[in-house]
Structure 1
C-alpha cells in the first residue's frame, strides 16, 4: 500500500466518524417526532455502525482505532449528555466485544450483521446500566427492552445492511 493511500485512509475515516457523530444528533433532532413516537424511543447509532465497519473489514490495525473510540465516546458524552463516561464506556465495551468476536465471524453480510447486532446490544445495555447507576434511567428493564432496544436494533441493522457493501468498497478503494 502506498504512503498516500494510508494517509488518505487515516484522514477520511476520522472525518466520516466525526461527521456521523453530528448526524446522529441531527437525525434525533429533525426526526424526533417519528423516532420518539410514544411509547417507542428509537436511536440512530450511525457512529457505532461506522466503528463496526472498521472492525468487520479489519482495518483497525491501519488507524489508531482505539484512540478514535475513546475520543468519539468522550465527544458523545460532552456533546449529548454532559456526563463523562457513559458513552465512552459503552463505545469501548461494544467495540471490545465486537473485536474479540470478530475471528469467529466471516465477511458475509449475515455474519457481519450478527456481529453488529451483538455490538448494538452491548452498547445499549451499557448505556442503560450506566443511566440506571447514576439515576437518570427511570424505565424498567422490560419496558427498555421492548420499547427502546428492539426498535433501535431494527433501525440500525437495516442501516448497517444498507451501508455494508458501500462501506466495504470504500475501504477497498482507500486501502
Structure 2
C-alpha cells in the first residue's frame, strides 16, 4: 500500500496559505484597508478549491474545520464562524463540481462564487453578533467587490502552479 504525499502536503500547504492570507493582508494593509476599501484575502479558500478540483485529499472536511478554527483564533477572535463556514464551502464546492468539467474558467467561476458566499455569510454572521453595522450596499461596494477583484488576480497567478502541484502529488 502506497501512502500519498498529499497526506502531508495538504495540511502544510493549508497552513502556509493561511499564513500568507495574514501576511499579505498585513504587508498590503495600506492599500487593502482604507476608508473606501476593505480587501479580504481568501488564499486558504483557493487552496481548498484547488485541492477539491485537482487533488485527492483524505479528510478534507476535517482539515478545513481545523484550518477554519485556526483562522478564527488568529484573525477573527470569534470561534466558530470560519470553523463552520470553511467546511461548508468545501461541501458546496465538492457538490457543485460534480456537474461540471474542470477547466480554468469553471474553477474560476466556482472560486468566485465560493468567495461571494463565504464573504457574505461571514458578513451576516458578524452583523448578527453585532461586530459590524455596515449596510449591505456598503458591504458590497467596499468589501465584496474589491475582495473579488483581488482574489481573481491571485487565482490567475496561482492557478497553473497549484494545478500542477495537486496533479503531481495526488
- Do they superpose with TM above 0.5? yes
Which residue number in structure 2 is paired with residue 30 of structure 1?
27
Establish whether residue 19 from structure 1 lines up as the match of residue 28 from structure 2.
no
Q: Does 1:124 pair with 2:123?
A: no
Q: Aligned residue for 2:2?
A: 3
SS in 2 for 1:3: coil
1:63 matched to 2:58:
yes
Equivalent in 27, 42, 46 of residue 45 of structure 1: 42
- Structure 1 stretches of at least 4 aligned residues deviating more than 2 Å after TM superposition: none
Residues 42 and 152, structure 1, Cα contact 8 Å, conserved in 2 = yes
Contact 1:41-1:151 within 8 A present in 2 as well: yes
Secondary structure, counterpart of 1:95 in structure 2: helix
Q: Distance in 2 between matches of 1:77 and 1:123?
A: 14
Q: Residue 93 of structure 1 contacts residue 122 of structure 1 at CA under 8 Å; is this kept in 2?
A: no
Alignment counterpart, residue 134 of structure 2, candidates 126, 130, 139? 139
Q: Determine if the alignment matches structure 1 residue 166 to structure 2 residue 161.
A: yes
Consecutive unaligned residues in structure 1, runs of 5 or more:
none
Q: Which residues of structure 2 form unaligned runs of 5+? A: none
Q: Tell me the residue number matched to 2:99.
A: 104
1:74 and 1:126 map into 2 onto residues whose CA distance is 16
State how far apart, in whole Å, the 2-side matches of 1:37 and 1:106 are.
39
> In 1, Cα distance between the equivalents of 2:113 and 2:55?
17
1:58 CA drift (Å): 4.8
